[in-house]
Chains A and B, each alone.
Chain A
């Protein structure tokens, strides 16, 4: 477009600036994490004198981050596994099986998408307390499953709708039971969707603050994100160590992003194009 070529170049400049602004904070933090306290106080912008790992080691050991990592890991692993199992079971039934009440159940799931956690957090906390699930791993896992199940069911249902009904019928005629169809046909065919939904569920659970804060009050049960926040008080006068802790906590997600960027973007857009 003749009129558009200059516009494109004009846009390239602010876009490049924005890209720099987006990356710089992380680089700044990484640089600070490598500095000694003295270096930081004297000049926080200059590149660190050398690659120094003692801050990272200090943050890891001093703040007990291993425990936070383990807590997050266990909770997220179980929550995502349950979400994918229950989500694919329900998604298969809602998309490819005929039964009374199926559209009501599907609508219920959609409605669940629009009930934010903030609206139910008080009664949910009370239910968890009454059943003795507050401050337990199963309690937090269950809270995550309940939170992200509508989204998971919704995406699995729309994925399974793209699989031809004839495949299911043929498998039934071959003598498979409904459960056999689920296990032998739908689970394998669901893998691409399970992967992108699973990655998103994983990110949601791993990054969560509010639910974990409410469900896991005791310090030894803190998940990583709550643990990182508690570094703030512990290292308020030692910013390089604090920055190291933040960096350590960011690494797993950054790695995930570097390798699985496409799947993450697919999961995010699936909701918009299939809705």
Chain B
């Protein structure tokens, strides 16, 4: 590869000697070629890494998903892995939980949206809230999970607080009907600060004169939200919807790993946990690849559906 500094100096030297004939012109043209190649040299390392460690694995993974595991390693099995996934109750639970997350998504977007609205409208103490709400978002899910585990213990603070209002202790992480809601709630609590900050950035681009006009007209808060804030923030809302969904589908592993390990009774499995478990613990990489491919397709479909829906909703306004 051409050495950057060296080639630059050769270029300068070439022009200074000017008209000296053969060798100098050759150096000059070599310098010009180095200049033409420079953009490629600058992007090459990034492209190399992205192609070999992100795009190529994507192709490989889809490929693996049609081959066998163990004794059948490498031999084509057609749709065998996908059929096995369809019949695996754990994977079905994982997909059902994805459905649950998609259903809870509007709530996960509305909470930071509403809080950002109040902060923007300068609720008493608004300066403090932004900093406080955002801080769990910078902590690792391992730390959040470990701290929350202490909070949710059978005789921990949460149950103690509930006890004072007469609600019996809840087995937050041990009850298969509750655990997934608990983990999702913790995820939303720990990450809504991200969306909040994004909303606030969106608000800062909002036309203040519209708000003033609404104020003069004596609009209620609900009217302001419906007619000024939502139409003005369509792009921000879209962005938050998509990133929150991506966050839910791809960054809950840490919490699952620390809080439930997929249990109780497999009730808190998500595709990412299933993939990790099949590959790392059960040595079924081909089956795991099939699950990866399903996850990818689910994310594409849900993401695109969301964007189309939001676009349509935006146009109606």
- Residues on A lying within 8 angstroms of B by beta carbon are 1-4, 7-9, 11-12, 15-16, 18-19, 21-26, 28-29, 32, 44-45, 86-87, 89-90, 92-94, 97-99, 102, 105, 108-109, 111-112, 114-127, 142-143, 145-146, 149-150, 153, 175-180, 182, 203, 206-210, 213-214, 225-226, 228-229, 232, 239, 242-243, 246, 249-250, 253-254, 256-257, 261, 264-265, 268-269, 271-273, 275
Complex contacts, A116 vs chain B, CB 8 Å:
246, 249-250, 295-296, 299
- Tell me the complex Cα distance, A11–B119, Å: 10
Interface string of B134-174 (1 = CB under 8 A from A): 11101111110011101100011100100000000000000
Given A8-B123, A16-B125, A177-B8; A264-B43 close (CB under 8 Å): no
Nearest-CB residue, chain A, relative to B36: A99
A184 to chain B, nearest CB (A): 11
Which of A4, A87, A119, A264 is packed against the most chain B CB atoms within 10 Å? Answer: A119
Interface residues of A: mostly helix, strand, loop or mixed? helix
Q: List 24 A-B contacts (CB under 8 A).
A: A4-B220, A25-B150, A28-B147, A28-B150, A28-B151, A45-B160, A89-B46, A97-B38, A102-B39, A102-B43, A122-B275, A123-B289, A125-B279, A145-B49, A175-B12, A209-B141, A209-B257, A213-B257, A225-B140, A249-B142, A250-B143, A256-B138, A257-B138, A273-B202
Interface residues on chain B, size class: 35 or more
Asked whether, in the complex, the Cβ of B139 is within 8 Å of the Cβ of A112, the reply is no
Asked whether, in the complex, the Cβ of A207 is within 8 Å of the Cβ of B118, the reply is no
- Tell me the complex Cα distance, A261–B293, Å: 37
Complex contacts, B147 vs chain A, CB 8 Å:
25-26, 28-29, 246
- Tell me the complex Cα distance, A201–B128, Å: 26
Which of A142, A143, A225, A249 is packed against the most chain B CB atoms within 10 Å? Answer: A225
Asked whether, in the complex, the Cβ of B198 is within 8 Å of the Cβ of A272, the reply is yes
Interface positions, chain B 38-85, Cβ under 8 Å from A, are 38-40, 42-43, 45-47, 49-58, 60-61, 64
Which of A44, A98, A153, A210 is packed against the most chain B CB atoms within 10 Å? Answer: A210
Which of A99, A112, A118, A145 is packed against the most chain B CB atoms within 10 Å? Answer: A118
Asked whether, in the complex, the Cβ of A122 is within 8 Å of the Cβ of B61, the reply is yes
Interface positions, chain B 277-308, Cβ under 8 Å from A, are 279-280, 285, 288-289, 292-293, 295-296, 299, 303
Asked whether, in the complex, the Cβ of B275 is within 8 Å of the Cβ of A268, the reply is no
Q: Which 7 A-B pairs have the closest CB atoms?
A: A207-B140, A178-B38, A179-B4, A146-B53, A177-B8, A269-B201, A123-B60
Asked whether, in the complex, the Cβ of A1 is within 8 Å of the Cβ of B250, the reply is no
